[in-house]
A and B are shown apart, each in its own frame.
Chain A
Amino acid sequence: MTAANVPFLEARKLEKRWKGPIPALVNLLFTLAIFYATWWIFQDPRGYMRLYTPYVGYNYTRWILIVLIWVAYIFDFWPFKRGWMEKAHPVTKGIVLTLLSTGVLLLLIKGFFEGLLGNFAMAYFNPAQLTKLPGVTAFFAEEYAATACLMFAAIASWLSPAWIVAMEAAPWQDLKQPARGLSIWIVTFFLSTLVYFMTMHSHMGILYYPWQYFTAITPPYWEQFADTVSGNFHIAWIMCCTVVVWLVETIWERYPFSAIKNPWTRRLSLFFAIIAISLALNFFLYYAQELAWGEAIRGSRRDAAPDWRWLHVGETAIFFLVPALFLYIYCDNWPKKFSTPVNMLVRTAITVLGGLAIYALYYRYAHLFLGTQKGFSHPQQFPMIPMIWLINIWLINTWFMDNWPGWKLTMKTDAELAAEHAARAAEQTWSPRMVPGMAVGAVAGVALYFLVVWALPVVSNAVNLIPK
């Protein structure tokens, strides 16, 4: 194994410019400043472009995330040379790669979805086609088209990274770029299309009056199970997949699946484990709302509606992704001094607490800064937009700019890479001797779950996050 034949992100060694937490704080301030400036320019309802209509801005936000993943994870920065990636100034790289991503984004939304699919396949991808229908205003035509497009994005934001994280880019891991990237891109795009048709097309089909029985399954198959005909039911678990795939990649270090020696067993088990964990998280976050706010009532609006509750599952999951990524990107995935399972557990605890804190801060104060409305369930507000906007900026900062200004880039030597792999292989193991501990831990995990189930209504009654 040499630095030249592993992906750029893996071959990098980021060194802090200053000791202690200063680099993390500097980068936090830097990225928050970028966040607020760009939020004002692009999204804020009081700002310059006001893309937060909401779906237009939401659509761009979701697709930027995916394009960033494509550039860094799937195409490994192709067509840029490794030498340029190593030597160019981080700010130059940040600007060039962000501009490239923006170009791809516009080509994709305006060219592929609106232009190609919207004109030659499904009218709901193209606002101009929708305005030909009686009664559809230009505003909602654009919102519907953006909704369809971003629903596709939700699926792609799970499957694209999952092919790298879980499937380890197999079976194309040994190909050179761009063959490797293109192969993965085509497969994940194809799978996203399949999942889109099976989860979201019916949602779009019932946007029309009467329901489009001839072209979509209406009412959709999930109606009785999910207590809604809305595709938000699928948004919920798919968003959980998006979050879990990154938890696996960052704070969980792909463990315990990394301990499986057979490559295909390892890959497939992790791929499906991501889905299983996501479904568990999905059902729990829905249940948590029932515990806090009472049972959902079908047909009601706002925070009592099943469709909003499913959406809020995805929104809540994203709140937990923010601290996990901060821990990984700016805190060197602290802690690292314990065994991998204990490190994972501590990081997970930090992530849960951090996610809850961000959730509380968002609903308490965000309306004062983001130009939005206070309250949980404004029908046109999505906390996923600012959260993913911030995550995008962090990803640009870490993937494109090598954590500048708090860090500087050097490259690992071949020996360092080999040592790192050996250390990981030695540490990330499984032994039957762990079984007694696992049994005790599993009982404690179940007990912890029921403790949370008991506490949620109590906490909900005691705390009101929405200011008067």
Chain B
Amino acid sequence: MSDNKTPFTRRDFIKGAALGLGLGAIGAMGLYSYSPMSRKHISQVQRKLADFGVCRGVKCKVISETSWFDNGTLMGDIKAAGGLLVDQYTYNWPPFGDGTGLGKGSYDKGIAKIKHLLPHRLEEAWELTKGLSVHPDNAGGFAALVEVEDMDGKVHKYLLDSGWSYKWMDEAFKREGIDKMLANGEIEALIISHEHFDHYWGLPVTLKYAPNIKMYIPDTFYPSGLQYIADSGHKGEVIKVKKGLRPILPGMATYVFDVPIICKVFGEQSLYFNVADLGLVSVTGCCHQGIILFADTAYKELKYENDKFHGLYGGLHISPFDDWDPKYDDLVIGLKKWELEKVGCNHCTGLVTAKKFIDNGYPVVRGTARFRTKDTAYLGNGDSIQFKKA
């Protein structure tokens, strides 16, 4: 240590002050930041309780939840193409295959091969793209028919997503009678949850039967995704939904979240329903924003019956490839506090997650495991779930 006999100087004071400044700041950081006292500085969000009306009930029919049929094949493709950050349009999956192989394709090259066949000559288009694409038979798709009963008893039908494989989705549409509903104009709109291949690339299958259908898409689509709407032969209105709430009917609204997603996709649109005497029901394509954030957003923004999150249907994007991460356990644990009364999950929820839900006592509605759905823990292809006060 230095000697103490020299007089106190301004230099000593400044040296001490500089050192003390760091000590004080670091000390406060360490002692205060994670203490109970620190909570008082965190802004508490005031509930907005926006009224988006009420409906009598919602029924969801699973047209297809099997987006792909073999995880190993899909993840093998993703691995070989360079991982989960690679642009989906470059994978060389159908319908954008151009024969150059994994990770070397593009939207422009792929669509050029089949554009002239869309949307009415889908069988030819699929046969053509099969020869140019990687693992075309692994493609399935996600789509659901959403039937909303208003308070007057009238039923409004919406299509949530349009799947992936032209062949698989066309068969599924015919199996569930969706083709006729579209052709008859019974379905009021197509709501696209997000731009992912398994929800969106089957768009021409819907347009084959209803080219003028109104479409709701998140306003976060990339240029290729937007171009696909025109290239698929769509003639109707396209509503680009901005981040936040978009009421559709009394008791039905979509909500767009700005979230970055794997395979270079951005943004997801999900559905809220306020069901009379039951409460909030969520219907999701993949729910990349996370079901708890979706529920919490509703809690902060919306007014709904009984102030109760009653139930959900759809993909929850937890372990879509039967992968796992401890943070998913946080979800299984954290979702309990919402005390859900009816859970219909499938698709990208992950079978491991569905089984953990069942293990943890969630009221999971079991399916019938038909039409290539793998397990009864999922609400499977051809199954349906209804949210309505008996």
Contact = CB atoms under 8 A, between A and B. Distances in A.
B34 A300 contact: no
A431 B18 contact: no
The residue in A290, A301, A371, A437 that gathers the most chain B C-beta atoms within 10 A of its C-beta is A301
Nearest to A220: B326
Contact of A284 (B33, B43, B90, B261): B33
A374 B13 CA distance: 47
Contacts of A444: 17, 20-21, 24
A273 to B, nearest CB: 10
Instruction: Name the prevailing secondary structure of the A interface residues.
Output: helix
Interface stretch (B4-12, B152-160, B228-236, B248-256): B4-12
A50 B103 contact: yes
Contacts of B81: 50
Interface in A295-325: 295, 297-302, 304-308
Interface stretch (A71-79, A133-141, A191-199): A133-141
A222 B305 CA distance: 37
Contact of A437 (B12, B22, B28, B330): B12
Contacts of B34: 283, 286-287
A301 B289 contact: yes
Contacts of B42: 290-291, 294-295
B17 A440 contact: yes
A45 B87 contact: yes
Nearest to B332: A299
B87 A228 contact: no
B45 interface: yes
Interface in B92-132: 103
A137 B75 contact: yes
Contacts of A208: 324
Interface residues of B, number: 81
Contacts of A228: 326-327, 330
Interface string A388-405: 000000000000000000
B2 interface: yes
B85 A297 contact: no
Interface stretch (A7-15, A110-118, A166-174, A339-347): A339-347
Contacts of B333: 229, 298-299
B15 A434 contact: yes
Contact of A261 (B1, B41, B289): B1
Interface of A: 45-46, 50, 52-54, 56, 135-140, 142-143, 203, 206-209, 219, 228-232, 256, 259, 261, 276-277, 279-281, 283-284, 286-287, 290-291, 294-295, 297-302, 304-308, 339-342, 344-345, 348, 371-375, 377-381, 429-450, 453-454, 457, 466
Closest 7 CB pairs of A and B: A299-B334, A445-B24, A441-B20, A437-B16, A50-B82, A301-B290, A280-B30
